[in-house]
Amino acid sequence: MALPQIDSLKTPDASLSRAASPRRGRLPLINLPFVAIIVLLVGYGLLVCWSSIEGSNDTTYSFTRQLIFAAVGAIVMMLMWRVDYQRFANAVMPLFILNIALILSPHIPGIGTDAGMGAQSWLKLGIQVQPGEFAKITIILMDAALVARYGGHLDDLREYLKVVFFILVPFLAIMTQPDLGTGLVYLAIGAMALVAGGARSKYLLITLALGIAAIAAVFAIDQLIYNSTGEYKLLKQYQRNRLLVFLDQDGSNTSSSGYNLQQAKIAIGSGGLFGKGLLNATQSGHGFLPEAQTDFIFCVLAEQFGFVGSMALLALYGALIYVSMRIARNSNDLFGTLIVMCVVGMWLFQILENIGMDCGLMPITGIPLPFVSYGSTGMIMSFMALGLIGSVWRGSNIDKKKEGRL
């Protein structure tokens, strides 16, 4: 499948790049607002994670482990900050192959393991690693490099379908585990690449309509299979339960997903304006709220710190996204802009889905809350995403320094 090469990395659309004010001086070492927001967000997330573990006395989770991997993630972020992201501009096929290898690696006999509910998503390598999380980074680079080749004008239908093919294959690969939550994140990254990369609105709307039709077809076909065989084949029962709970939240659903949602709502509502205080979360502390350290950790935050604490987290997320988008806008090339926008798309989807499912506004999935949910792989991946943004910021400043504009 032939792909155009990037001959020039300069952004054709001037709105995607803004020159710094003409002045000379030393190259800035760090982006202070960006780093300050990272420190505040990670610190707040670790506090909430610690309280969810200490308050529940659940020995399955270790805050020391979370702290160690946060430190490892910070080191990885600083290393990636120094990497020239433009090295990946023409590496679409290597990145594509690496994506598939990472996603399918849990199927390797002997090292792949079941993460629960039949999802073959983890590797046993001394510690448990979820390669599908790391694939988010390679997918960000691949989607950005692929779409950047069209210079901000993805108008040709055949080329658009070619890009959609590269976006869909990792999603189909992750569904062999199956891990629908991670797969949806892949699609969110791809959708942001298409939108920010200049795909025609008509193509995007048709793609969205076809996606909705495909989801409806899967449920309809699965129901027909169940009617004839008495067993669902395309979707697992827990996946169907999660959608049914989302569609019917009046308490009539007695599945575990229905119970989880009811307890999540109770936890959030009981926090009130200022919360019950640190380590005073009764729903998670007394074991009523399942997966309190991972999927439903926002409920722990809301119960302990209330509406004010919840808004503080959202404000930090908003500040991170705002500063990241400024870095994207100031990037000297479309590839750098798309990298940052793909990271932003990933964060936005994970934040909206995780918090939305806790409030009953989105279907329940296993998508973690960035920098807050417990999990070593997810924490390192989040820091790697920060490193990519830092690399784009650094590359833009180096280019401006060479041009005498900094």
State whether residue 294 is helix, strand or coil: coil
Q: Which residues pair with 41 in a beta bridge?
A: none
DSSP string, 133-160: HHHHHHHHHHHHHHHHTTTT-B--HHHH
Q: Judge whether 40 lies within some domain.
A: no
Of the candidate ranges 136-150, 175-189, 321-335, 391-405, the one whose mean pLDDT is the lowest: 391-405
- Cα angle vertex 200, ends 196, 206, to 5°? 110
Give CA separation, 73 vs 43, 67, 322, in Å: 13, 10, 22
The reply to whether the predicted model has a pTM over 0.85 is: yes
Predicted pLDDT at 262:
86
Q: Judge whether 404 lies within some domain.
A: no
Predicted pLDDT at 18:
37
Closest CA to 312 of 322, 302, 303, 300: 302
The answer, yes or no, to whether residue 22 has pLDDT greater than 50, is: no
Q: Judge whether 245 lies within some domain.
A: yes
pLDDT digits (tens, 9 = 90+) for 101-136: 999 999 888 888 876 556 788 888 877 889 999 999
Gap between the terminal Cα atoms of the chain: 41
CA atoms of 260 and 36, how far apart (whole Å): 35
Predicted pLDDT at 126:
75
**CB burial of residue 202 (10 Å; 0-12, 13-18, 19+):** exposed
- β-bridge pairing 112-114 and 120-125: antiparallel
Residue 289 is given by DSSP the state S
Tokens 């709970």 belong to 245
Q: Judge whether 35 lies within some domain.
A: no
In this prediction, residue 306 has a pLDDT band, given cuts at 50, 70 and 90, of very high
CA atoms of 366 and 12, how far apart (whole Å): 39
Q: Judge whether 15 lies within some domain.
A: no
Domain with 301, as residue range(s), is 62-391
The answer, yes or no, to whether residue 308 has pLDDT greater than 70, is: yes
In this prediction, residue 20 has a pLDDT band, given cuts at 50, 70 and 90, of very low
Predicted pLDDT at 14:
38
The answer, yes or no, to whether residue 47 has pLDDT greater than 60, is: yes
Q: Mean pLDDT throughout 380-405?
A: 84
The answer, yes or no, to whether residue 70 has pLDDT greater than 70, is: yes
Strand order in the sheet with 120-125: 112-114, 120-125, 127-129
In this prediction, residue 252 has a pLDDT band, given cuts at 50, 70 and 90, of low
Q: Judge whether 2 lies within some domain.
A: no
Predicted pLDDT at 9:
43
Q: Judge whether 149 lies within some domain.
A: yes
**Is the pLDDT higher at 30 or at 9?**
30
Six-digit token pair at 250? 């009046």
CA atoms of 153 and 134, how far apart (whole Å): 29
CA atoms of 362 and 364, how far apart (whole Å): 6
43 half-sphere exposure, CB direction, 13 A CA radius:
8
CA atoms of 110 and 134, how far apart (whole Å): 20
pLDDT digits (tens, 9 = 90+) for 353-372: 999 998 888 888 888 999 99
Number of structural domains (the chain) is 1
Predicted pLDDT at 29:
65
CA atoms of 360 and 242, how far apart (whole Å): 11
The answer, yes or no, to whether residue 144 has pLDDT greater than 70, is: yes
Q: Judge whether 8 lies within some domain.
A: no
**Is the pLDDT higher at 55 or at 41?**
41
CA atoms of 111 and 124, how far apart (whole Å): 5
The answer, yes or no, to whether residue 406 has pLDDT greater than 90, is: no
Q: Which residues pair with 127 in a beta bridge?
A: 125
Mean residue pLDDT of the chain comes to 86
pLDDT digits (tens, 9 = 90+) for 225-249: 888 887 777 777 777 777 777 776 6
Tokens 């830092």 belong to 390
In this prediction, residue 80 has a pLDDT band, given cuts at 50, 70 and 90, of very high
Q: Mean pLDDT throughout 45-73?
A: 90
The answer, yes or no, to whether residue 302 has pLDDT greater than 50, is: yes
DSSP string, 88-144: GTT-HHHHHHHHHHHHHGGGSTTTEEE-STT-EEEEEESEEE-HHHHHHHHHHHHHH
